[in-house]
């Protein structure tokens, strides 16, 4: 919200610099996002030379006007320029002297050549040396006025536009001041002001008005608050009998107040009113609409003005639609609250008025509505109609019903004051559901328990009274009644917390001492699942893989690139983009998209991600969110170096090496690998992993036809799609170590020829099984195929390590084991010892 | 003729001198071998003296033998010395020939790295872990109840505007907008034990992706529930946290804010560590960086979690690891995190 400094000063004395006020507001919960200075000095401003202490806390903009350089002046005559049609010469007095000033402002052309003006034009005049913004430059560019000759006429000063003064973007013409502006006065004294852009917290809607902010400032400074009063005499005939109110549902409309002003003449509002409205971000319309907006900005009560004569005359059926002020015909929902008369809908209650009964220049009688609406319904209307307004913003957060009456009274006063007319005596006030302002009980212990400070209750009461809480001491309890302008204080334990927050705010958060937690430590449970997951991350990174984190939102067609859909998705009702409309089911599909973006950037790419996928469950249950591990590798085995070792590509066995090392790092043993059938993968280069009967997933080379669906180059794409939950469940809780052998090991190579169809793992398993505990390591070091051994055969060469913990093995002992192994391989696999 | 003057003795002297004189010319392995066979071989002068011992008078033989032996030992010692010199020189020469250009780049190795957000999360876990906070993880897809209602945000409450929510097509389900539903889950699981937990997790926001905002982002919340936990404890804990994360001397400030699930609520700013509070692009000239939102757990939330608010109090705080990472490493585009460009990731 835009808060206007000069307006605040109507209600509270403020003797602070712009920066001090910004600090104060932020400290009490009215966060200042930006300060726009209108002529007033602010820190680090190059014009005034003011410097802050090196700590800049707020964003300032605008321009400080030097008091001796920028002043109120009057133009007594506008004369044509001898050499230029688009320029005029102004005869101008600045309180010191008379000058002829050159300008191209189009809004002076109508006065050109009329001779001395009967009423001088008051303008903002910048003397030589003044620092102003360049009106013709794009954006805000500071410039200093220097002496120059323009088309043969000497110029050293100028009359300014709002843009040049840093007030607004307006540069269509020069700024014209009210006729009573005192010539010669420094402009900053006459017009200097500031606008604070303050963010209003959802529970502080009471402060979405000047009085609300002023109240907070007054409370923080301990100064009195001057509330606005209505002062005009009530001269008109009574309202009674002219209008009646019927409220259908008091829950939706707790209060509805009407007032009437007769014989009005809508006209432009006084200059100061228009200026304030503009600074607060609203467009002046006419003196009646402006009065309603002014009161809303003043005390926070939105008002609506009807043309009473239209209401009386209009006829019509009960149309299910209404045309609102923005000229949109709106369908109405069952929960939309309407203000209607006997002829049908008049306005969307609390949101926007109807076009038909709009106040116009022809309006002579104004019926003024001040009401209170159920904020939930207003919110539903706003979202259904996709329509918001200043009124709806406030009503949708809750406006206290007590403000309805005050708002109408102030409104009528402003209307009559700015548009003439007479105020009808009395109001018609329907108040079927009076607000009950909560009373909350506070003790010293309550304050201590929540804030950790000891605060005397009398002092607490003093602080609360500044915010207009009504406080009463009852022995050792403080009874605090909520003032009738706010709805954010609850009852019971909630009310206590609400009141203590107000006390904390007034004490100042910075005044509450910081302490360390001294309450007892909870049972230390740790998080085993997370620790295991982080261990897995560490191992994969140690193996040279880069971790990535991808979007969990995707689209079915993005995952379909990898495999046909095989289940339902958790889908979003309101996706922000069609390609992010469901929760992913495949982590690998997401990883492949990352691979695609990076594949040309590196000779070797090795990536992994650990994260959840989302599987819908029946019966409206929340989805399962199992954790998956996806790995992608492609490119060169070794990174290219300058000595030209010939590059080789990563293949299936590189990925398998990663998988094996990962399992070894996790101390998971007994993995069984089998050729797996998976449409995503190369039919001959895909393995499944099973550990202790638990399926961990598959890995291998992507099927070339599948790989082509991404731009992944022609190197084989090696991928793993693993169930991280199952994998990490295999982690042993405890493991034991073996002693380092005290006796030497004996190494021996053995090469056997077997049928091609026999998996290498069977040979190795048999060797281990037969060798028993004396064979401690079996390592395949060569696979050979060739004519020498016959077609359909392969030679597998193993390096065996014999080792005993009891003593040094003799040749005889190892030979016995070896012979047993060879016999077993011959019998069970038809293997032949190579070289025999 | 005395024994001392027998010519053989002078000869031996001469043999030694002659041999040593040419030893210096043996400068390589071949020279050494040739010298050995010439001066210590079977037919070498000194060895010839041994083989011709019979020619010398009997009484002179022990002396000749002794002298000849001395000469032989002297030559052997000299040879060993020279041979070592030659070996050293040859090694030095060989090594000199092997001199590398040490400025050539090394063979590149692959260094696996963790995603920057994983690294930041771990740092937060570590810092808070030392204060007794343990990680509690909850789910991404939540019920409306857990995400809002149980956190004191009833349907149509104005506070719902604070979150741009993704709703699932399944009624009553949302993508969590914050990790706060984990507060209720942790409380319901642990009540009536005291609680100190860290709630990390991916959250979602219905918003256009831009340099400043993402549709998914991590959040980390802290939750402490127990007897006698105060706003002062909240301040102290968060100040300690900020010092550990951003530097021991960093200044912090709390200012009032609003969250439906805390009361009093606050926002914590740390002094901009980029400019030291003087005002810069990173802090948008404000000198302060908004780091986290926090407050005392709202009595209704305590109640919904199964704790009696008249007996228990607690505090909660929430922060964005992406924002913290961006501030610390001067990253100006949040989209870098999930676009996973290796040129970005490899910088961590």
pLDDT tens for chain B, 348 residues long, are 455 578 888 888 899 998 999 998 888 989 999 999 999 998 888 888 888 888 888 888 888 889 889 999 999 999 999 999 999 999 999 999 999 999 988 888 889 999 999 999 999 999 999 999 999 999 999 999 999 999 999 887 777 877 889 999 999 999 999 999 999 999 999 999 999 999 999 999 998 898 888 999 999 999 999 999 999 999 999 999 999 999 998 899 999 999 999 999 999 999 887 777 777 777 777 778 889 999 999 999 999 999 999 999 999 999 999 999 998 898 989 999 999 999 999 999
Over residues A333-348, the pLDDT tens digits come to 777 777 877 777 788 8
Task: Give domain status of residue B47, yes or no.
Answer: yes
Task: Give domain status of residue A229, yes or no.
Answer: no
User: Tokens 């004395």 identify what position?
Assistant: A13
Over residues A644-701, the pLDDT tens digits come to 777 899 999 999 999 999 999 999 999 999 999 999 999 999 999 999 999 999 999 9
Q: Which of A55, A512, A522 sits opposite B277 (nearest CB)?
A: A55
pLDDT at A315: 60
Gap between the Cα atoms of B39 and B15, Å rounded:
9
Over residues A468-507, the pLDDT tens digits come to 999 999 999 999 999 999 999 999 999 999 999 999 999 9
Q: Are residues A548 and A474 in the same domain?
A: no
Q: Residue A314 burial by CB count (10 A; 0-12/13-18/19+): exposed, middle or buried?
A: middle
Q: Are residues A660 and A543 in the same domain?
A: yes
Residue after which a domain boundary falls, among A430, A454, A476: A430
**Interface probe with A: pick from B140, B305, B347, most Cβ of A within 10 Å:** B140
Hey, are the CB atoms on A580 and B215 less than 8 Å from each other? yes
Over residues A377-419, the pLDDT tens digits come to 888 888 888 888 999 999 999 999 999 999 999 999 999 999 9
pLDDT at A707: 95
Hey, are the CB atoms on A551 and B239 less than 8 Å from each other? no
**Phi, psi of A829, deg, nearest 5:** -120, 0
Residue after which a domain boundary falls, among B68, B97, B126: B97
Of the ranges A9-13, A75-79, A253-257, B47-51, which one carries the lowest mean pLDDT score? B47-51
Q: Is-contact B139 B202, C-beta < 8 A? A: no
Hey, are the CB atoms on A56 and B346 less than 8 Å from each other? no
Residue of A nearest to B231 (CA): A451
Gap between the Cα atoms of A400 and B158, Å rounded:
15
Gap between the Cα atoms of A512 and B264, Å rounded:
12
The rounded mean pLDDT for chain A is 91
User: Tokens 């090469």 identify what position?
Assistant: A751
Q: Are residues A382 and A464 in the same domain?
A: no
Gap between the Cα atoms of A571 and B130, Å rounded:
40
pLDDT band at A641 (very low <50, low <70, confident <90, very high): confident
Q: Which of B158, B170, B284 sits opposite A202 (nearest CB)?
A: B158
Gap between the Cα atoms of A682 and A704, Å rounded:
7
Task: Give domain status of residue A513, yes or no.
Answer: no
Instruction: Tell whether B304 lies on the interface with A, counting CB pairs under 8 A.
Output: no
Geometric angle at alpha carbon A747, from A744 and A749, rounded to 5°: 175
**Interface probe with B: pick from A198, A199, A514, A583, most Cβ of B within 10 Å:** A514
Q: Are residues B93 and B143 in the same domain?
A: no
Total domain count for chain B? 2
Q: Are residues A242 and A364 in the same domain?
A: yes
**Phi, psi of B11, deg, nearest 5:** -60, -45
Q: Are residues A828 and A798 in the same domain?
A: yes
Q: Are residues A363 and A420 in the same domain?
A: yes
Pure H helices in chain B: 7-23, 29-40, 45-51, 61-97, 116-129, 144-147, 181-190, 231-246, 299-305, 321-329, 336-339, 342-345
pLDDT at B237: 97
A-facing residues of B in 233-252 (CB < 8 A) are 233, 235-237, 239-240
Q: How far is B208 from chain A (nearest CA, A)?
A: 7
Q: In Å, how far are A684, B77, B165, B223 from B177, measured between CA atoms?
A: 45, 89, 6, 17
Total domain count for chain A? 6
Q: How far is A273 from chain B (nearest CA, A)?
A: 31
Q: Are residues A371 and A331 in the same domain?
A: yes
A-facing residues of B in 53-72 (CB < 8 A) are none
pLDDT band at A170 (very low <50, low <70, confident <90, very high): confident
pLDDT at B276: 75
Instruction: Tell whether B207 lies on the interface with A, counting CB pairs under 8 A.
Output: yes
Task: Give domain status of residue A307, yes or no.
Answer: yes
Could you tell me which residue, B275 or A159, shows the higher pLDDT?
A159
pLDDT band at A52 (very low <50, low <70, confident <90, very high): very low
Q: What residues form DSSP beta bridges with A36?
A: A61, A195
Give the containing element (helix H, strand E) for A187.
helix A187-191
Task: Give domain status of residue B182, yes or no.
Answer: yes
pLDDT band at A51 (very low <50, low <70, confident <90, very high): very low
Over residues A696-723, the pLDDT tens digits come to 999 999 999 999 999 998 899 999 999 9
Q: Which residues neighbour A626 within 8 Å (Cβ) at sequence distance 6 or greater?
A: A612, A613, A615, A723, A724, A725
Residue of A nearest to B143 (CA): A622
User: Tokens 């085993």 identify what position?
Assistant: A528
pLDDT at A532: 96
Q: Are residues B281 and B192 in the same domain?
A: yes
Task: Give domain status of residue B35, yes or no.
Answer: yes
Over residues A79-121, the pLDDT tens digits come to 998 888 888 999 999 988 898 898 888 999 999 888 899 999 9
Q: How far is A129 from chain B (nearest CA, A)?
A: 28
Residue of A nearest to B270 (CA): A57
**Interface probe with A: pick from B169, B191, B242, B270, most Cβ of A within 10 Å:** B169
Q: How far is A406 from chain B (nearest CA, A)?
A: 25
Q: Residue B35 burial by CB count (10 A; 0-12/13-18/19+): exposed, middle or buried?
A: buried
Query: Is A48's pLDDT higher than 50?
Result: no
> CATH no. for residue A537?
3.30.930.10
Hey, are the CB atoms on B140 and A583 less than 8 Å from each other? yes
Gap between the Cα atoms of A584 and A613, Å rounded:
6
Gap between the Cα atoms of A515 and A194, Å rounded:
39
Q: Are residues B199 and B93 in the same domain?
A: no
Gap between the Cα atoms of B320 and B201, Å rounded:
10
Q: Are residues B269 and B215 in the same domain?
A: yes
Q: Are residues B89 and B151 in the same domain?
A: no
Hey, are the CB atoms on B134 and A551 less than 8 Å from each other? no
Of the ranges A48-52, A198-202, A250-254, A325-329, which one carries the lowest mean pLDDT score? A48-52
> CATH no. for residue A329?
3.50.40.10
Nearest to B130 by CA among B198, B37, B215, B28: B198
Hey, are the CB atoms on A614 and B286 less than 8 Å from each other? no
Q: Is-contact A597 B339, C-beta < 8 A? A: yes
Task: Give domain status of residue A343, yes or no.
Answer: yes
Residue of B nearest to A550 (CA): B338
Q: Are residues B130 and B243 in the same domain?
A: yes
Q: Are residues A484 and A533 in the same domain?
A: no
Task: Give domain status of residue A161, yes or no.
Answer: yes
Q: Are residues B122 and B83 in the same domain?
A: no
Q: Are residues B183 and B40 in the same domain?
A: no
Average pLDDT over residues A774-798: 91
Render B153-198 in DSSP notation, one character per residue. Answer: --TT-GGGGGS-PPBBSSTTEEE-SSSTHHHHHHHHHHTTS-EEEE
- Which of chain A's residues have a Cβ under 8 Å away from the Cβ of B298? 494, 497
Q: Are residues A452 and A495 in the same domain?
A: yes
Hey, are the CB atoms on B285 and A515 less than 8 Å from each other? no
Dig out the tokens for A655 from the structure. 């990925």
Residue after which a domain boundary falls, among A403, A430, A457: A430
Residue after which a domain boundary falls, among A430, A449, A464: A430
Q: Which residues neighbour A810 within 8 Å (Cβ) at sequence distance 6 or greater?
A: none
Q: In Å, how far are A443, A446, A459, A462, A606 from A478, measured between CA atoms?
A: 6, 11, 11, 11, 67
Hey, are the CB atoms on B112 and A543 less than 8 Å from each other? yes
- Which of chain A's residues have a Cβ under 8 Å away from the Cβ of B341? 597-598, 601
pLDDT band at A49 (very low <50, low <70, confident <90, very high): very low
3-state SS record for A276-329: HHHHCCCCCCCHHHHHHHHHHHHHCCCEEEEEHHHHHHCCCCCCCEEEECCCCE
Hey, are the CB atoms on B122 and A398 less than 8 Å from each other? no
- Which of chain A's residues have a Cβ under 8 Å away from the Cβ of B108? 639-641
> CATH no. for residue B300?
3.30.930.10
Q: Are residues B237 and B301 in the same domain?
A: yes
Q: Which domain holds residue B64?
A: 3-97
Task: Give domain status of residue A737, yes or no.
Answer: no
Instruction: Tell whether B227 lies on the interface with A, counting CB pairs under 8 A.
Output: yes
A-facing residues of B in 129-188 (CB < 8 A) are 131-132, 134-137, 139-143, 155-159, 161-162, 166-173, 175
Q: Which residues neighbour B6 within 8 Å (Cβ) at sequence distance 6 or greater?
A: B56, B57, B60, B64
- Which of chain B's residues have a Cβ under 8 Å away from the Cβ of A446? none
Gap between the Cα atoms of A582 and B28, Å rounded:
81
Gap between the Cα atoms of A179 and B115, Å rounded:
67
Q: Note the ipTM here.
A: 0.87
- Largest separation between any pair of C-alpha atoms in chain A: 132
3-state SS record for A678-689: CCCEEEEEEEEE
pLDDT at A660: 97
Task: Give domain status of residue A790, yes or no.
Answer: yes
Hey, are the CB atoms on B112 and A28 less than 8 Å from each other? no
User: Tokens 């040490």 identify what position?
Assistant: B102
**Interface probe with B: pick from A62, A549, A555, A665, most Cβ of B within 10 Å:** A549
Q: Which of B157, B257, B286 sits opposite A57 (nearest CB)?
A: B286
Count of other CB atoms within 10 angstroms of residue A285: 16
Gap between the Cα atoms of A320 and A723, Å rounded:
57
Q: Residue A112 burial by CB count (10 A; 0-12/13-18/19+): exposed, middle or buried?
A: middle
Hey, are the CB atoms on A496 and B134 less than 8 Å from each other? no
Nearest to A232 by CA among A413, A81, A363, A59: A413
Nearest to A83 by CA among A111, A107, A102: A102
Q: Are residues A544 and A690 in the same domain?
A: yes
Residue of B nearest to A609 (CA): B115
Q: Are residues A686 and A763 in the same domain?
A: no
Average pLDDT over residues A567-584: 95
Residue of B nearest to A446 (CA): B310
pLDDT at A318: 56
Hey, are the CB atoms on B115 and A548 less than 8 Å from each other? yes
Q: Are residues A578 and A679 in the same domain?
A: yes
Q: How far is B90 from chain A (nearest CA, A)?
A: 28
- Which of chain B's residues have a Cβ under 8 Å away from the Cβ of A606? 110, 112
Could you tell me which residue, A601 or A148, shows the higher pLDDT?
A601
Q: Which domain holds residue A312?
A: 236-430
pLDDT at A249: 87
DSSP structural state of residue A94: -
**Interface probe with A: pick from B152, B155, B170, most Cβ of A within 10 Å:** B170
């Amino acid at each position: 919200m835009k808060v206007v400094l000069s307006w605040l000063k109507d209600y509270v004395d403020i003797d602070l610099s712009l920066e001090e006020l910004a600090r104060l507001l932020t400290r009490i919960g009215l966060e200042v996002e930006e300060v726009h200075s209108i002529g007033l000095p602010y820190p680090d401003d190059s014009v005034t030379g003011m410097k802050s202490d090196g700590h800049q806390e707020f964003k300032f903009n605008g321009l400080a006007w030097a008091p001796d350089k920028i002043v109120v002046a009057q133009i007594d005559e506008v004369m044509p320029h001898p050499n230029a049609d688009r320029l005029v010469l102004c005869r101008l007095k600045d309180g010191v002297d008379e000058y002829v000033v050159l300008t191209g402002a189009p809004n002076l052309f109508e006065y050109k050549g009329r001779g001395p003006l009967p009423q001088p034009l008051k303008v903002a005049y910048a003397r030589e040396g003044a620092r102003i913004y360049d009106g013709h430059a794009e954006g805000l560019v500071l410039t200093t006025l220097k002496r120059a000759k323009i088309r043969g006429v000497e110029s050293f000063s100028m009359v300014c536009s709002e843009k040049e003064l840093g007030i607004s973007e307006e540069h269509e013409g020069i700024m014209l001041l009210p006729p009573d502006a005192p010539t010669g006065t420094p402009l900053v004294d006459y017009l200097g002001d500031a606008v604070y852009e303050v963010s209003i917290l959802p529970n502080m809607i009471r402060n979405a008005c000047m009085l609300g902010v002023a109240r907070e400032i007054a409370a923080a400074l301990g100064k009195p608050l001057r509330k606005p009063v209505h002062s005009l005499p009530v001269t008109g005939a009574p309202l009674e009998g002219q209008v009646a109110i019927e409220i259908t549902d008091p829950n939706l409309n707790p209060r509805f107040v009407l007032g009437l002003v007769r014989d009005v003449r809508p006209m432009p509002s006084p200059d100061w009113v228009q200026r304030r409205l503009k600074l607060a971000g609203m467009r002046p319309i006419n003196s009646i609409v402006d009065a309603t907006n002014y009161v809303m900005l003043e005390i926070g009560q939105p008002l609506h003005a009807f043309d009473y004569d239209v209401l009386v005359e209009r006829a019509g059926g009960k149309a299910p639609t209404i045309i609102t002020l923005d000229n949109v015909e709106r369908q109405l929902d069952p929960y939309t609250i309407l203000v209607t008369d006997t002829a049908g809908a008049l306005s969307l209650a609390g949101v926007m008025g109807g076009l038909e009964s709009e106040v116009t220049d022809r309006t002579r009688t104004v019926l003024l509505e001040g009401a209170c609406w159920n904020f939930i319904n207003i919110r539903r209307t706003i979202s259904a109609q996709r329509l918001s307004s200043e009124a709806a913003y406030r009503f949708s957060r809750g406006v206290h019903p007590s403000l309805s009456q005050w708002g109408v009274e102030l409104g009528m006063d402003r209307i009559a004051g700015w548009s003439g007319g007479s105020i009808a005596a009395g109001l018609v006030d329907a108040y079927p559901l009076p607000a009950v302002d909560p009373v909350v009980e506070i003790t010293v212990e309550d304050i201590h328990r929540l804030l950790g400070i000891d605060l005397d209750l009398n002092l607490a009461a003093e602080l609360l009274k500044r915010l207009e809480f009504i406080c009463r001491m009852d022995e050792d309890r403080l009874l605090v009644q909520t003032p009738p302008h706010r709805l954010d204080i609850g009852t019971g334990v909630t009310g206590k917390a609400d009141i203590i927050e107000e006390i904390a705010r007034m004490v100042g958060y910075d005044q509450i001492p910081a302490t360390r937690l001294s309450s007892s430590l909870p049972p230390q449970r740790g998080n085993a699942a997370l620790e295991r997951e982080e261990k897995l991350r560490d191992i994969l990174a140690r193996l040279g893989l880069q971790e990535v984190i991808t979007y969990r939102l995707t689209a079915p067609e993005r995952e379909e690139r990898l495999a046909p859909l095989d289940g339902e998705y958790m889908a979003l009702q309101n996706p922000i983009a069609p390609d992010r409309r469901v929760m992913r089911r495949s982590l690998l599909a997401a990883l492949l998209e990352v691979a695609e973006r990076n594949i040309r950037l590196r000779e070797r790419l090795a990536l992994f991600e650990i994260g959840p996928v989302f599987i819908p469950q029946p019966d409206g249950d929340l989805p399962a969110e199992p954790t998956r591990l996806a790995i992608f590798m492609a490119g060169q085995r070794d990174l290219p170096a300058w000595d030209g070792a010939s590059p080789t590509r990563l293949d299936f066995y590189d990925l398998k090496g990663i998988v094996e090392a990962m399992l070894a790092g996790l101390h998971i043993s007994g993995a069984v690998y089998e050729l797996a059938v998976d449409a995503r993968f190369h039919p001959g280069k895909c393995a499944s992993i099973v550990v202790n009967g638990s399926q961990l997933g598959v890995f291998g080379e992507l099927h070339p036809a599948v790989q082509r669906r991404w731009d992944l180059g022609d190197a084989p794409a090696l991928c793993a799609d693993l169930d991280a939950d199952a994998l990490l469940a295999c982690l042993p809780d405890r493991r034991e170590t073996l002693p380092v052998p005290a006796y030497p090991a004996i190494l021996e190579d053995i090469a056997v020829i077997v049928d091609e169809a026999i998996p290498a793992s069977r040979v190795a398993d048999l060797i281990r099984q037969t060798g028993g505990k004396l064979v401690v390591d079996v390592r395949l070091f060569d696979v050979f195929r060739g004519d020498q051994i016959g077609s359909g055969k392969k030679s597998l060469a193993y390096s065996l390590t014999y080792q005993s913990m009891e003593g040094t093995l003799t040749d005889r002992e190892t030979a016995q084991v070896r012979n047993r192994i060879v016999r077993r391989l011959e019998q069970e696999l038809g293997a032949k010892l190579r070289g025999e | 003729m005395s024994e001392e003057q027998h010519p053989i003795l002078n000869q031996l002297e001469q043999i030694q001198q002659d041999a040593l004189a040419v030893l210096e010319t043996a400068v390589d392995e071949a020279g050494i071998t040739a010298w050995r066979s010439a001066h210590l071989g079977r037919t070498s002068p000194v060895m010839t003296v041994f083989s011709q011992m019979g020619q010398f008078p009997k009484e002179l033989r022990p002396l000749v033998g002794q002298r000849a032996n001395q000469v032989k030992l002297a030559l052997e010692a000299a040879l060993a010395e020279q041979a070592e010199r030659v070996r050293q020189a040859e090694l030095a020469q060989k090594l000199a020939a092997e001199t590398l250009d040490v400025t050539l780049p090394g063979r590149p190795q692959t260094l696996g790295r963790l995603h920057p957000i994983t690294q930041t999360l771990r740092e937060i876990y570590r810092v808070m872990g030392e204060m007794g906070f343990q990680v509690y993880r909850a789910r991404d897809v939540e019920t409306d109840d857990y995400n809002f209602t149980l956190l004191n945000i009833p349907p149509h409450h104005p506070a719902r505007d604070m979150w741009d929510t993704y709703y699932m097509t399944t009624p009553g389900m949302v993508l969590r907008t914050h990790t706060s539903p984990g507060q209720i889950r942790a409380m319901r699981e642990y009540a009536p034990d005291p609680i100190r937990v860290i709630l990390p997790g991916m959250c979602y926001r219905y918003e256009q992706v831009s340099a400043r905002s993402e549709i998914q982002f991590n959040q980390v919340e802290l939750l402490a529930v127990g007897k006698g936990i105060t706003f002062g404890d909240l301040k102290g804990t968060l100040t300690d946290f900020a010092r550990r994360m951003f530097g021991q001397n960093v200044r912090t400030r709390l200012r009032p804010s609003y969250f439906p699930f805390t009361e009093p609520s606050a926002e914590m700013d740390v002094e901009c560590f980029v400019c030291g509070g003087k005002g810069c692009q990173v802090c948008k000239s404000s000198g302060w960086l908004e780091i986290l939102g926090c407050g005392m757990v709202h009595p209704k939330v305590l109640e919904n979690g199964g704790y009696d608010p008249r007996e228990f109090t607690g505090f909660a705080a929430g922060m964005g690891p992406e924002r913290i990472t961006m501030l610390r490493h001067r990253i100006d585009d949040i989209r870098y995190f999930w676009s996973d460009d290796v040129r970005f990731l490899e910088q961590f």
